[in-house]
Structure 1
Amino acid sequence: MNETTESVSAWLTKEYFETILREYKKDEGLVVTNINASTGSSKGDSFISTMTRFKVEFLASNCREPRQEFYIAKTSYEGDPVIARIMKEFDVYNREMIMYNQILPEMAALLVEIGDYDKLFAETIHVDFVRSAIIFEDLSVSGFVVADRIAGLNESQARLALTKLAKFHATAAVFNERMPGILTNLQGGFLRRTTRAFEPFFRGMLEVCANFADCCEELGPYYKDKLLKLRPHVFEYAVRSFDPKDGHFFTLIHGDIWATNIMLLSETNGEQFDTKKVKDARLIDFQFSNWSSPAVDLHYLINTSFENHLRLHCQDELIQYYHDILTSTLHKLTYGGHIPSLHELCIQLEERRFYAFTSSIVNQPLQISENTADSDLNSLTEVNERSRNFYKVLYSNTKVQSTVKVLLPYFDRKGLLDVSD
């Protein structure tokens, strides 16, 4: 085991698991006979947390044969003072613990209430607020795998993800209606005016994009000039995508919904993963969930994680698909608030389309990079030569370049490259 796993195992003992499993399974006679830990994350998987997998063997009351189950312990990452400081400002650990302890179970119960047994996320086993730890089921044991961030989601995978996201948004809206204020207090995602930690990343990426455009025959100095003028404003314009507007439907959004925060299950369970026969999905990682517009999640998911032809040619159809599930679920749950029409949702998406621009130009190059050597929060929050060189590496990716050549003119036609008040 590595150092992180060893430190977690110092307190995640047989006795600890015995205590939490007795409560979770409502079995005071349950006895844990053995546990085995292994690392569950690697470089590039997460900037802000660590994962440890546990195989737990236990003997339940009235059972003669022991059983084994698999869990993941998600704990705070404290190995770097920069990360520790930034994450304290964002309060991500406390937010995700609240999500797993209080909010996600209630949202799951709402679906069961209407006879919908679709699962949206992993089941919570225990939340330890003292140690900033969450223990939940290990989905990988059931055959779930993390979506391919390099290839992107194909159409069947995209529809599954949108189904889960629509039900997430719908149940959250109803939960907040029944328990007013609980979700609206979750303000601010990873972009917020009060904590501008990622502004250097946004400005730096716009600069390297501008330099790429200048050297690109299909784009040229016209785009470089526009992007450099936009650069001082890019962070503020992106944050505006989260702002409330009269008449807009608001709910709890995932806040970081992209490929690696989606796990997929293939019909060929136990064999090689079949991308054409994916039958289920789960959403993971809720550190940045906040009360905002579903347009933020939709723009981010589509423009970081869908195959390019879906983003370019099937977006309207997929938004309609999402809207059908959102409204159907809201109606079944007898939501008392205003349910947006498809037209109203499209207007909401259009008014927040700048987030599609930053998701494509700033975020996706990082997320589809295969070079993880300098992929850490230091690179994204500091202004230095190391960061600038890292951004240049991201834009040396031919897939990124091909996408930018197509999307910059599109975003320009939408007026998103223009500086406004």
Structure 2
Amino acid sequence: MKSPSSSAGITKPWMEFILTEYECKKDPRTAVTVLSHTVKSATKPGESFNAELILLDIKANVGCEGAEDASMEREYNLIVKFLTEDPLSTELIKRCGYHIKELKMYSEVIQELNQFQATHAGGQYPLNLPEFIYGKCTDKEYVLVMQNIKVLGFETNPKREGLDFEHAKVAVNHIARLHAVSYAYDKTHNFLEKFPCFQFSTAISAFFKPVVWASLANCITFLKSKKTYQDMVQKLERGRTTLPVKFAALWDDQSRHRFLCLTHGDFWNSNLMYKHSNTEGGEQVIESLKLIDWQIAQWNNPVFDLHYLLNTSTSFELRRNHAEEILRHYHTIFIEATNKMGTPVSNWNYEQFKAEFERTSLVGFLMGMCLIQGTLSKAGENINHAGSKCCTGTCCHPCKVVVDKVKTCFAKMVVSLAFKPSSSYIMQASIKRVLSPIGQELVEGSNEVLNGRLLDLLLEADEKGVLDVLSL
């Protein structure tokens, strides 16, 4: 059955089709009849630039064909993910293969890895995602349907608060499992041969470089307005021309990495969903965690996930007081898991792991610098416009079709241009213009959380000598 391309296309027959397919995995005789349903957006305007996320709640009769008296009413709470209607974002997603990766993670990869760790480690290192319901990916169709785990009590930690020590420790425990299980699996099954879409690609860094450049320009504007950080300003200004080269050397040159495995790629606060419970004494404890949003997953250096989490989702105080403990906890879980599965990693004691983490610290700083600006700024929320509404009415449908085709052609041209080295200056100027409102917000100082977190990250990087590396 043809899949809808947006929430507006969801129909009763399609819902019955996907739910019947889902239930038939457990009992081939199952038939699902939808009784009622509600559809509403899962995100606020500006929260998601690369997808349309929908909450789909369904009440249905589930029974066996030819046995009406055996049917029972059941409720399904689902998240439906479509590609964004913005042509530029859609073209970028397709160019990088983000949509294929996420569907593969839910439909095949996690199941395969969990079966492997269950066999080789007795199920000690499970990888937890929302349950996969249905998915389809072709040249013209894309939809991913998964369990809505919010109704089960899972929630994300507020991004403006960041993670405390206990939540960060649980997060690195889970990412250590992913790294260890995928590493062990690859030793006997060749992960990339089975799942080639996760092959490392420079496409991510190619688009990330101008974002780094523009975010760095915002930092310089911000620090100049303070008039007390001229030494840092000079270091950042000297490093602007060499930054793309240094970033690429650390990110793209996989021959320099100690070893590789499956990485999440977007491992930060808003992609971690925790479930809490209360003890008899009334104390709230973390019961479980599920990881979401796997579009940027790829075969890469595992320390990048740790950099991403620490620099985007924790405070300077937490990193200063607990970073060492968090890293040791990660390393312990990783070593225990790989040993348990019969694939110990040679020359990877804690000191060697820490040396690799420090070698790539520039990447961690740059990731944090960009994501803090993009996620904590109010201006950043306004950058993701839903597009013009002048052609949304039924009477304008013919016009809309023409406009959409023009937008799609233009998007293909722009994205193609973005990945050409000769276009780097144009891309830098364009993205700088898009992100400049964030720089203005930093100067105005009205967003204390944004200003505080970014300034802490800059000061920490300077204290550790990371900014000196930029200016060399």
State the TM-score, normalized to the length of structure 1: 0.87
Given candidates 311, 327, 333, the residue that maps to 1:319 is 327
Q: Deviation at 1:88?
A: 2.3
Matched, 1:91 2:139: no
Deviation at 1:299, TM superposition (A): 0.4
Q: CA deviation at 1:267?
A: 0.7
Shift of 1:318: 0.4
CA distance in 2, matches of 1:207, 1:290: 29
Q: What is the CA-CA distance between 1:241 and the residue it aligns to?
A: 3.3
Match of 1:60 in 2: 63
Structure 2 unpaired stretches of 5+: 387-426
List per-residue Cα deviations over 1:300-354 (Å, max 9, x = no partner).
Answer: 0011012332122211110001111111111222225537211111011011100
- The alpha-carbon deviation at position 60 of structure 1 amounts to 3.5
In the other structure, the counterpart of 1:152 is 162
1:166 aligned residue: 176
1:26 counterpart = 2:20 = no
Aligned-pair CA distance for 1:74 = 1.4
Query: What residue number does 2:83 align with?
Result: 76
The corresponding residue for 1:290 is 298
- State which of 242, 267, 270 in structure 1 corresponds to 2:277: 267
| Matched residue SS, 2:76 | strand
- Residue-by-residue CA offset, 1:147-204 (whole Å, 9 max, x unaligned): 2111001111111111111111111112222321335762347xx3686333332111
Contact 1:249 1:340 in 2 (8 A): no
CA displacement at 1:289 relative to structure 2: 0.5
CA contact (8 A) 2:46 2:383 kept: yes
Cα pair distance change 1:22/1:65, threshold 3 Å: closer
SS of the equivalent of 1:51 reads: strand
Q: State the distance in 2 between where 1:193 and 1:133 align.
A: 23
> 1:257-288 CA deviation, whole Å, 9 max, x = no partner?
1111111111159xxxx994222111101111
Q: State how far apart, in whole Å, the 1-side matches of 2:27 and 2:80 are.
A: 20
Change (3 A) 1:386 1:118: closer
* Distance (Å, rounded) in 2 between the aligned partners of 1:303 and 1:411: 10
User: Structure 1 residue 394: deviation in Å?
Assistant: 5.0
5 Å-filtered alignment, 1:350-361, equals 350-361=358-369
What percentage of residue pairs aligned between the two structures are identical? 20
Q: Which moved more, 1:257-266 or 1:50-59?
A: 50-59
User: Is residue 266–residue 297 contact of structure 2 (8 Å, CA) maintained in 1?
Assistant: yes
CA distance in 2, matches of 1:184, 1:339: 28
CA distance in 1, matches of 2:434, 2:254: 37
Would you say 1:223 and 2:232 are equivalent positions? yes
2:16 alignment counterpart = 15
Structure 1 unaligned residues grouped into runs of 5+ = none
Amino acid in the other structure paired with 1:15: E
Calculate the TM-score normalised by the size of structure 2.
Answer: 0.78
Provide the C-alpha distance between the structure 2 equivalents of 1:175 and 1:367, rounded to a whole number of angstroms: 34
Contact 2:278 2:284 in 1 (8 A): no
Distance 2:353 2:385 in 1: 34
Report the Cα offset of residue 137 of structure 1. 1.3
1:222-247 C-alpha deviation (Å, 9 max, x unpaired): 21121112123334433433332456
Structure with higher helix content = 2
1:377–1:118 Cα change, 3 Å: farther
1:14 to partner: Cα distance: 3.4
What does residue 44 of structure 2 align with? 42
How much has 1:40 moved relative to structure 2?
Answer: 1.8
Which among 199, 203, 207 is matched to residue 187 of structure 1?
Answer: 199
Output the amino acid matched with 1:45: E
2:440 maps to 392
Q: 1:42 to 1:222 in 2, by over 3 A?
A: same
Q: CA RMSD in A?
A: 2.9
Structure having the higher Rg: 2
Aligned length: 409
- Residue in structure 1 matching 2:465, options 401, 408, 415: 415
Give the CA deviation at 1:116. Answer: 2.5
Which of these residues, 6, 9, 26, is aligned with residue 8 of structure 2? 6
- 2:340 pairs with one of 311, 332, 344: 332
